[in-house]
Structure 1
Amino acid sequence: MPIAPDDKDWTWVLSRPCPECNFHAPTATPATVPGSVESMIPRWLAVLRRPDAAERPNGQTWSAVEYACHVRDVFTLFNQRLNLMLAEDDARFADWDQDRTAIEKDYANADPSEVGPELAAEGHEAAEAFAGVPEEDWGRKGVRSNGSEFTVLTLSQYFLHDVVHHLHDVDG
């Protein structure tokens, strides 16, 4: 059964701390993202080893494996967006419907033992991509399809919040 789509604009986390996961955007930079991501990968893998990882806690909340699938795909997406911002001036991001992706990729029936290595591989790639960004490129710009503007710095903050927040969602 599909979960109700999340249609919130989470860009507000760039200007104030998240009251749910306590993430505070100014603490993150492209230089700190790699260490943060690398430190969270083992925690995600531990979550996926739980016997109930594929069970939804209720009818309105993804299971841990569904959240992990989403985070795996967030790693991929933000790696692509970062590379686009570094390659193109005023990069434009194609729309990404996370809820449609969850249905099309069948997150609800994913095997945690397969998702774990995929999440780790994509996480390592994203961390490596952010690690390679020189400070003089942190101001490069990109625009999401809904008009939200990012710099490489704010993209790194927005990205990291997603990973931190969802780890919080699954008590990782």
Structure 2
Amino acid sequence: MPIVPDEKDWTWVLSRPCTQCGFDASTVTPSTVPGSVENMLPRWRAVLRRPDATERPDDSTWSALEYACHVRDVFNLFDRRLNLMLTDDNARFQNWDQDKTALESDYANADPAVVSAELTAEGQQVAASFARVQESQWDRTGLRSNGSEFTVLTLAQYFLHDVVHHLADVDG
């Protein structure tokens, strides 16, 4: 059964802490992202080793495996967006329909061991990209297709919230 798409605009997490996961964007800079991502990777791998990783807790919530697939793809997407912002003035991001991707990529039937390896590789890649960001680049801008404007700093904050929030979603 498909999950009802989440159509909330989560950019509010840039201005106040997330009451659901406790994330506070004001504590994040591009230079803190690499260590944060690297520290979460073992927790994601542990989640994927759980015997119930493929089971949805209810009909309206992704399984831990599906969340991990999403996070793997978030790592890849934000790596591409970050690099676009660093190379193109006023970068523009194409729309990404995460729910369509989940269905087309068949997240629910993925192999947890394969996803674990892919998530680790994508996480290490995005961490390395953020590690290369110079403080002088933090104000470079990008525009999402819905009109939301990001700087490299706010992109780092928004990105890290997604990963932290989903780790909390799966009790990682």
Tell me the TM-score range normalised by the shorter chain. over 0.9
- Paired residues for 1:123-138 under 5 Å: 123-138=123-138
Residue 139 of structure 1 is matched in structure 2 by 139
- What TM-score does the superposition give when structure 2 sets the normalisation length? 1.00
- What TM-score does the superposition give when structure 1 sets the normalisation length? 1.00
Unaligned 5+ runs, structure 1: none
Residue 75 of structure 1 is matched in structure 2 by 75
Cα RMSD for the two superposed structures: 0.3
Residue 109 of structure 1 is matched in structure 2 by 109
Unaligned 5+ runs, structure 2: none
Moved over 4 A (4+): none
Letter in 2 for 1:76: N
Mapped to 1, the partners of 2:151 and 2:96 lie a distance apart of: 18
Q: 1:112-156 CA deviation, whole Å, 9 max, x = no partner?
A: 111000000000000000000000000000000000000000000
Residue 51 of structure 1 is matched in structure 2 by 51
Mapped to 1, the partners of 2:81 and 2:169 lie a distance apart of: 24
Percent same amino acid at aligned positions?
73
Mapped to 2, the partners of 1:43 and 1:160 lie a distance apart of: 15
> How many residues align structurally?
172
Q: Secondary structure at the match of 1:30?
A: coil
Letter in 2 for 1:106: D
Residue 159 of structure 1 is matched in structure 2 by 159
Letter in 2 for 1:107: Y
Letter in 2 for 1:45: R
Mapped to 2, the partners of 1:150 and 1:70 lie a distance apart of: 21
Cα distance, 1:9 vs. partner?
0.4
Q: Secondary structure at the match of 2:54?
A: coil
Residue 35 of structure 1 is matched in structure 2 by 35
Residue 16 of structure 1 is matched in structure 2 by 16
Cα distance, 1:20 vs. partner?
0.5
